[in-house]
Structure 1
């Protein structure tokens, strides 16, 4: 018999008058999973999280925690806790009082509260600070206090509503690693919503990409990055060059296309069933494109061209070139190899570029994406 998931949503929908914010979303989250819902602002992810928490009631569908429906269970009675973006710590209380707040609401006796608070603070790396004021903490420490306040209640599911959004870049990068470590330490199911793909890719066991109220694709970070099933996922997860094109001919899953700017490309039918004459969206990752100072190095590549360097975007290991195709005028982003071979490239230099057809993913066109 399969294990009952910690969280299951069955055809959940939420309408606000004529607007459908969430449309028949179904998914399940096994125990101990870090599950992220990734999508742009307005896609419905916060509404979905608020329904799981009990702050909003679904228009239709069912929500189950540990196999039991919680549709009629009020928020304070559900076995879930929630970490908000702005943390909502109480500045007039010390750290211990903040962490123990929920326990006091449940009428746990003071002796047990003290023990439980000390134990959970130790587990988040803040042992011995219960008597300190919240104002004495750094941003990352406050984040851990907010998590400790939830985890002391031993929820079946911890909901996290873009909790890193208010942090500076360096601290956010650090907290991504720390959050994943805390989730592993507690072995609690985390449901995390974010519009930041880096957060989702780094931390998650499973990611659902949400758009216009539906899940476009659910999978591991590698599956979403290397095998996006829709044009939206290909364009939203990771960096990609996108071309609007028309299918000229096909050979099995292989396609030859003409872009709107006249470039001939060869790639793979990622959505299946694309036909001659069909409008398509073509995606190529910047790191899939090879550079050379010699045209002969691009022989047999399948897709090749000559470009002028428009700009060099130096960002250490993530540096990129912006190239202008000399034939079509199309602009392309290309990951700069870290061999040092091209470190002297500057605006106006000419280079040859190319990539293999298997690195080109093609989907039925979504105009206005």
Structure 2
């Protein structure tokens, strides 16, 4: 392991009787990285985080922080701190008392505690509020107090257990930016778990997508979005139109396919080694599809069709058009181009569509 690596897990496993919650997970987190573990409920991400924190013992493998094994090291002896979803702030204490709690438990000098508390509150943008009650703060400010309480202990790794889950949508969007700023400010390794792909994509340097106890892929947000390794990652990260199709011709990684509805497609093998006759799971991103009032603008594309507007889902810059073409692809979700040409689309309008072969990612369909 590199000296610049703060956290490393080697074939880490956790079982409960006959159920294997975490299965031979291996990864390393470089110093100063914002590392997210993204996955659906029940995939094992919380169990993994609790093993890193020391609240649960692995049944196999090893876990190292700064190159030192943490097996059998109790939570209070590990160089980590943890921010919980519900923050666990003490309502009867002042902001400063909350932030300094861990320092008092550690036995630090009282005057040193005050200096350190004031300094860390200043760094999280809450200078001068140490004497105020916690309940006088907004939800976002309480998040920063919870982080300050951890960071004042100068941990090597900060663990965050879905800390934005209890916030309303607008505050959650704001705190995604704030958390990334704080991580950069402290230059501390963050390990963040979430089921919300937007949180992971916006904040993370590296993301591990977890499914059924295993990591499906580790990479940057762009890696996972544009080059997903597996059909699970392709379907879980971002939005996609998904079809089942039979492979009719193979030329290297280039494929010809036909969907169950009879649409002829050209696509690319995502790495599963698809052969003629195989059934593929096909993914096409809504923003990869071009729209046109006539077939002139889409005629040169490999995958084309004509449909009718079934509905327009207006969401500002993220608006989508749902097209219906029963003879070809059934329902097709298309990102609405932000041009005046398509602003007045209404239900029933005829529209031409098309996309390039490299935007059709194909994986072997598992029965």
Q: Indicate the TM-score class for this superposition, using the shorter chain for normalisation.
A: over 0.9
Cα deviations by residue, 1:40-82 (Å, 9 ceiling, x for unpaired) = 0001000000000000000100000000001111001100000
Q: Is the 8 A contact 1:306 1:327 kept in 2?
A: no
Within 1, Cα distance between the matches of 2:57 and 2:4?
A: 23
Structure-1 residue corresponding to 2:285: 285
Structure-1 residue corresponding to 2:335: 335
Q: Is the 8 A contact 1:312 1:347 kept in 2?
A: yes
Q: Is the 8 A contact 2:305 2:328 kept in 1?
A: no
Which deviates the most, 297-306 or 163-172? 297-306
Q: CA deviation at 1:154?
A: 0.3
Cα deviations by residue, 1:211-259 (Å, 9 ceiling, x for unpaired) = 0000000000111111001000001111110001111111121101111
Within 1, Cα distance between the matches of 2:213 and 2:2?
A: 29
Structure-1 residue corresponding to 2:257: 257
Structure-2 residue corresponding to 1:166: 166
Per the normalisation by structure 2, the TM-score is 0.98
Find runs of 4+ consecutive structure 1 residues off by over 6 angstroms: none
Structure-2 residue corresponding to 1:101: 101
Structure-2 residue corresponding to 1:305: 305
Within 2, Cα distance between the matches of 1:175 and 1:243?
A: 36
Within 1, Cα distance between the matches of 2:272 and 2:19?
A: 31
Structure-2 residue corresponding to 1:233: 233
1:139 has 2:142 as partner = no
- Structure 1 stretches lacking a partner, 5+ long: none
Q: CA deviation at 1:272?
A: 3.7
Within 1, Cα distance between the matches of 2:365 and 2:329?
A: 21
The Cα RMSD (Å) is 1.0
Equivalences for residues 141-220 of structure 1 within 5 A? 141-220=141-220
- Residue 6 of structure 1 aligns to a residue whose secondary structure is strand
Per the normalisation by structure 1, the TM-score is 0.98
Within 2, Cα distance between the matches of 1:128 and 1:10?
A: 44
Q: Is the 8 A contact 2:207 2:220 kept in 1?
A: yes
Change (3 A) 1:329 1:271: closer
- Size of the aligned set, in residue pairs, is 367
1:360 has 2:366 as partner = no
Q: Is the 8 A contact 2:3 2:66 kept in 1?
A: no
Q: CA deviation at 1:329?
A: 5.4
Structure-2 residue corresponding to 1:223: 223
Within 2, Cα distance between the matches of 1:326 and 1:59?
A: 52
Cα deviations by residue, 1:133-176 (Å, 9 ceiling, x for unpaired) = 00100000000000000000000000000000000111000000
Q: Is the 8 A contact 1:289 1:355 kept in 2?
A: yes
Q: Is the 8 A contact 1:306 1:352 kept in 2?
A: yes
- Structure 2 stretches lacking a partner, 5+ long: none
Q: Is the 8 A contact 1:100 1:113 kept in 2?
A: yes
Q: Is the 8 A contact 1:293 1:351 kept in 2?
A: yes
